[in-house]
Each structure stands twice: as C-alpha cells, then as structure tokens.
Amino acid sequence: MDILKRIAEKREREEKLAWEGTFGEYIEMVRERPELAQTAHSRVFNMIADAGIEKDDNGKTRYLFFSRELFGLDRAIERLVEEYFHSAARRLDVRKRILLLMGPVSGGKSTIVTLLKRGLEQYSRTDAGALYGIKGCPMQEEPLHLIPQSMRPEVEKELGVRIEGNLCPACRLRLKEEYGGRIEDVPVERVLMSEDDRRGVGTFSPSDPKSQDIADLTGSIDFSTITEYGSESDPRAYRFDGELNKANRGLMEFQEMLKCDEKFLWNLLSLTQEGNFKAGRFALISADELIVAHTNEAEYKSFIANKKNEALQSRIIVMPIPYNLQVTEEEKIYEKLVRQSDLSHVHLAPHALHTAAIFSILTRMKDSKKQGMDLVKKMRLYDGKSVDGYKEADVEELQNEHLDEGMSGIDPRYVINRISSAMIRTEAHCLNALDILRAIKNGLDQHPSISKDERERYLNFISISRKEYDELAKKEVQKAFVYSYDESAKTLMDNYLDNVEAYCNWTKIKDPLTGEELDPDEKLMRSIEEQIGISENAKKAFREEILIRISAYARKGKKFDYNSHDRLREAIQKKLFADLKDVVKITTSTKTPDENQLKKINEVTATLIDKYGYCPTCANDLLRYVGSLLNR
C-alpha cells in the first residue's frame, strides 16, 4: 500500500467536500432538500437509521450503527434509540432533556458516546448528513437564523422547515458592521464536524472546582482586545470558544456530569428547556446540540437524593446501560479486546473465551422465582438456546422479573485483565479454558470491591463454568472421533424426521431397498429422544413441535437443517456419541497406546487442528483432559 498516495487521496476528498456560497444559494438548496436544516437530534437519529436497521424473527430491532462495536446490548440500544433519539428527532419534548447513560463500569457507556461522536464526524462528510453554517461563525450557526423573526412563519411554510433560534452576538454584529444588514450577502460554508478541530463535537470534563472556570463551557472575555473595542459586551472582545459554543449543531459529551460543581450545571437548565444559555454580558445565546452524560448507579442515587438538584433532575432522561447477559456476545467482547492487544499472537484454544464468558454472565444474573429455573437454564435461554419446558415468552418474563439485572457483577475489564495476565506469565503460546479459569480465580483476592460472600459465590460460578466446559470438551473430542461426523448426523436426522412425519400423519414409510411399506421405527425415534430426556408421555408433543418448526421454516422459504433445532441437534449428537464413549475412553486414557490406538489419536488430533481451530499443544491437552474426565 502506498501510504503517501492514500493520504493525498484523502486530502483531495476533504477538499472536494468544501463548499462556499451565498445565503441565497443556501436558500435554494434548502428548498430542494429541507433536511439540510434539520436539528442536531434529528441528524443523530438519521445517522443511526442510515447505517441500517434489522428485525429478527421475534420483531426485535437491531441497529447496525452500534452492532460493530457493542455486543449484547441490543435491548438497551433499542430502547435508547426509540425512546430518546427517535422521539427527539420528531421534535417531541424529549429533545429538551439531557441524555444520561447510567450503568456499571466497563458496560459500554463511553463506547456509545464515542461511536456517536465519530459517527457524526463521518456523517457530516456524506450527502445525507451534509450541514451548512454561516462562514466565520464561532458556533457554525444555522444560516436560516439570518431571517428576521417577523418573516419566519411564511418562510417556514414556503421551504417546509422550522426555524428555531437567533443569531449569536458575533454574527449579529458582523451582519450589521460588515454587510450593512444585507442578509443575502452573508457567506455560507459547508461544515465538516471534527472533535479535534472543535467543530460540532465537544467534550467537557470537570476538574478541581476551585480552579476550573465556567468559561470552559460558555467562552471567555479576551482581555487583550478590551482596550481596542472598549467594552466587555462587544462580541469582538469575547472568545466564543466554550464547549457549548463549539458543540453547536452537533453533540457535547459531559463527562462525570454528576460530580460537577453546581455552577457548571446551571447553564444546562435553560439550554435544555429553552435551547439557549447565558454567556458574558450578552443576551441569551441559542444552541442546538445533543448533550450526553454518563454515570454509574451509585453516583446517580446520590445525585437524586440531593434536593438542590430537583430542577436538573426533571431535565434528564436516564437510560440504563446494563452489562451484556448473553454468553456468545460476551465472547465477542473478549475477542475484540484480545485482537486490539499486542498479544494476539498467543493462541486461545476453542471454548477458552466462551468459558470465561459463562463465568461473567453467571455473576451478573439474578435468581428467578420461576419454579424449576436455575441460573444455568436462564443463561442458556438468554443466549437463545432451547431449554426443555420453556419458550420465547418465558425469556421476556424472566427479563422483566428483575429490571436492574445486569447492573452488577464482574465487568469485562476484569476478565480481560486476568486473560492478559495469564498470557504474559505463561511461556506457552497457547491458553486453554482451564488456564483462564485459574487466572480468574487467582485474581478474585486482588479485586478491591469483592466481598467475602461474593467471593464464595464467584468461586461457585467458576466451578459451574468448569462443568460447562467439561461437557463441551467431551463433545469436541467425541465429534472428532466420529468419521464424517456431519454426514452421519445429517443421515441420522433425516431418518428420524422421516419417521416423525409418518408417525404424526398416521402413514407408513417406504423401504428404499425393498419398496415395502413399514410402520414408523419407534425404537429409533425413542433412542434419539431419550438422549435429551423426552419421556414416553411427552414424545408426541415433541414430535409435533418438530413438524411445526419445519412448516414454519418452509413458509419463510428457509431450509430446516441440522442446526435449526437446538434440542434435536443435541439428541442426534448424544445418540452418535453413545456408541463411541468406550472407544474414546480407552484411546484417550491409555498411557501405552498400541499401533491402532496411536493412529486413531493422530487422526483425532489432526481433525481437532484442521476442523475445530486447535493447535498441536491445546489439542493434545484436550485429549489428555477428556481422557481423565471419562475415567472418573
């Protein structure tokens, strides 16, 4: 790749985006495209929507804008977009509120804000997200603010837009002094948002209240020019460079807002409700921006307990951002964090991160009052797996049982820190699930916020995670022992489905060799169903459910295959493995394998490496471990 050439091409693209024209030209552009004059909230929502929206079979919405970086937060993101961004984009009263993301540490709050900020920078460089401001305005102001108040109703009707806000003091003076009140002569330019250039994207972080000045938010007097202009109320003697000024038309992140001194929050009262703020010796300054803050639950409870904050509380929309509660999504978080590190060369054995994810999710869930429901079943249901006796409706009921579920537990940073520690300390180039569980366990004593009781609970969860891994490890080895596993499984499943269809429809099966019509093979069907505990009384309901699932797939134009029904797949696997258990046990545990056993071990190791992502080290470790499990 020619790096310098790519840099030059990027610079050329930025230069092509630049546009400058008159206010009259801008009016014609708005006439053709009224969305150019949209509000900051509307722009953010359209940016999210334009990135793509997906709906799953259950009607749940997934926003692709967030899905590349955030995992397992679809439910929280859906609520955030629908209840805040979408409503605010329609000019409902929600847009007059500060958005406060509340959740535990390392839960994704900062990532959401970062995605919004980076997204706005990119979106402003597209045709759909283009926005324009008065050239030279320190607040990249909406040019339509130049239109006098008395004319706005008819202009709004003609252009199909809404005009809210007034000229900032700097532009009002320039209009009078430089252009003699001739609005049509005021130049307009395209605005490319950039946090680095402080255009449309701002960040305010409170520091020591004794040393920090409100000017960081609203701008400050330029004392070097007061002698020249003679007054502190002259806009030319004022720097409109506070975060509220620079974030106009876009987004301002208010870091640690609830830790901030009261005087910094007063400006937010009128900004949120009226869309303006006070700065220096000027009239109220209009601002159109989305203010996002984030905090944890303890700080928020302390904030609402203070009666002095009541006025601001009513101007805040709180959006809970809990920890992810899906094992497969948690695994993706760890994969992303490992990939971003300098230790990506260390091989992680299959199921290593999955096992760590099981532990994390168990610590975040709360016990259900539902009869027969334990945390492992709940974890599987949350992860989209089938659990005997429970349906999709039960998942929603479980989620609504504890509205604060996911607001506590082990955070991803702790787990990835322990994984990193294990990677650094080990001299091997491979880590397996047991290595990671051991590292997590050793780190519990060093975790500052874990009580003695919590430690006992967490140790129990480590034991459960290991049991889950033991089952996965046995299945992996057994699969590797099965010759042409996928073909064998498909053949067995097709045979089972043929018999189920004949059983449910009261028909017979035609023997492919003799042509003889036979009754459904009850022995075959029961031998599979018994593997997952389907009783004699429940067999009819299970078989009918399989046919209903096949019919549903057919209506949607999908093919029902081996992976379409989790419980049936599990039954097929167990049936295939049942006859192999003794072979696996003898082959993996013998210390002096004969020639045939050694050949089989080499074949299985090759399969684990070629098909299942193991390296020679973790493949051999797996075989030894499973051998010891089967001999217990």
- pLDDT at residue 140 tops 90: yes
β-bridge pairing 251-254 and 201-204: parallel
pLDDT of residue 131: 94
Tokens for 178? 């430089």
pLDDT of residue 182: 92
Q: What is the pTM of this model?
A: 0.84
Domains in the chain: boundaries: 21-31+132-190, 33-131+191-320, 485-589
Question: What is the average pLDDT across 164-184?
Answer: 92
pLDDT of residue 427: 64
β-bridge pairing 347-348 and 187-191: unpaired
- pLDDT at residue 302 tops 90: no
- pLDDT at residue 426 tops 70: no
pLDDT of residue 192: 94
More confident: 260 or 41: 41
How does residue 210 score in pLDDT terms, banded at 50, 70 and 90? low
Tokens for 474? 């046995």
Question: What is the average pLDDT across 258-274?
Answer: 78
| List of E strands, 338-380 | 347-348
How does residue 60 score in pLDDT terms, banded at 50, 70 and 90? confident
Distances in whole angstroms, Cα of residue 317 to Cα of each of 116, 261, 291, 301, 510: 17, 20, 11, 14, 65
- pLDDT at residue 26 tops 90: yes
Tokens for 164? 């809210």
Question: What is the average pLDDT across 242-255?
Answer: 92
Q: 544-555, pLDDT tens digit by residue?
A: 999 998 888 888
d(CA 232, CA 227): 10
How does residue 209 score in pLDDT terms, banded at 50, 70 and 90? low
- pLDDT at residue 290 tops 90: yes
Question: What stretch of H or E contains 290?
Answer: strand 290-295
Residues 443-459 as b or e (16 or more Cβ within 10 Å = b): bbeebeebeeebeeebe
CATH for the stretch 33-131+191-320:
3.40.50.300
Interhelix angle 566-578/452-481, nearest 10 degrees:
60
Average model confidence (pLDDT) for the chain?
A: 87
